[in-house]
Amino acid sequence: MTVLHLADVGEAADLAAFLSRLIHYDRAAAVRLQAAGTALAVFGRPPSFEVLAVRAVRLAKPYENGLDVSLDVTVSAGELLEAVDESAATAAVPAAVTGPPWAGVLPPRGGWRAEPGLPEPERLRAMVAAAVAEFRSRTQELAPEQRTRSELDRVGREIWSRTVGDTPLTVRAVHAAQSLGFLRPSAVSESTRAPEDAPLGLFSSGAWLRLRTPYGSIAVRRAGLGTLDVSVR
């Protein structure tokens, strides 16, 4: 069995928290793992948000398993969570599962360019809070016979499809970042920030948008663009 040695107990705890949040939205959630060198990328897709969540995890030593120097496998999020030993800062890789369709279409590794206009983290958190409050208020005002699934979905689409400031990013993507723990206030100061703790930013590459935070990224593939903008691997 392949065992990943995480950088420290903090990395193990953060990985476990991320997996727990994914399972909260989908008990049968799967994650795709890609490891090379001292970096592990964990991809997941919470169905409620229609986005791709990416958690970068630091490894204590370069990944190596026999003759393989990289790892690329889709596994059960629940089984991986059970295999995380926080005190030992290790995670045993479960058996591979048949991946869902999204696992075959991932954001590109390179070619990202910065997009202007992203508000500060405090404003983003306030925007999500206001959107949640609006959704609750508008749905509670509906008469019982109007409170159907289709009407709730219509109100939700109207609110969550709004764009953030002058960017093409939707409020839904920011809500996903908040719900997955990616938008929590950072305890890392700018003067002591490590390279992997990059500040908040918005980037684009082909069909993809990526909201980067110190704790993970939310990637969204914009509709209406062809296969030349898709990275399949």
Q: Is the pLDDT of residue 195 over 90?
A: no
How high is the mean pLDDT of the chain?
Answer: 89
Final residue in a domain of this structure, among 106, 123, 140: 106
pTM, 2 dp: 0.86
Query: 73 with 134, same domain?
Result: no
- Distance from C-alpha of 188 to C-alpha of 207, rounded to nearest angstrom: 32
Full 3-state SS string of 156-189: HHHHHCCECCCCCCEHHHHHHHHHCCCCCCCCCC
Range of the domain at 18: 3-106
Q: Which of 67, 84, 106 is at the close of a domain? A: 106
Q: How far apart are CA 173 and CA 194, in angstroms?
A: 25
User: CATH no. for residue 16?
Assistant: 3.10.150
Residues in the chain: 233
Q: Report the distance separating Cα 174 and Cα 99, nearest Å.
A: 26
Residues 124 and 201 in one domain: yes
Q: How many CB atoms lie within 10 A of CB 78?
A: 19
Residue 190, φ and ψ in degrees, nearest 5? -60, -35
The answer on 117 and 13 residing in a single domain is: no
**Residues 213 and 146 occupy one common structural domain:** yes
For the cut 60, the answer to whether the pLDDT of residue 192 exceeds it is: no
Could you tell me if 62 and 119 lie in one domain?
A: no
Q: Helix, strand, coil % (nearest 5) of the chain?
A: 30, 25, 40
Residues 84 and 187 in one domain: no
The residue from 76, 106, 136 where one domain ends is 106
Q: What is the pLDDT of residue 187?
A: 52
Q: What is the DSSP letter of 145?
A: G
- CA–CA separation, 31 and 129 (whole Å): 28
pLDDT tens digits, residue range 207-233? 999 999 999 999 999 864 433 333 334
95 and 152 together in one domain: no
Q: What is the mean pLDDT of residues 135-157?
A: 93
Question: Number of folded domains in the chain?
Answer: 2
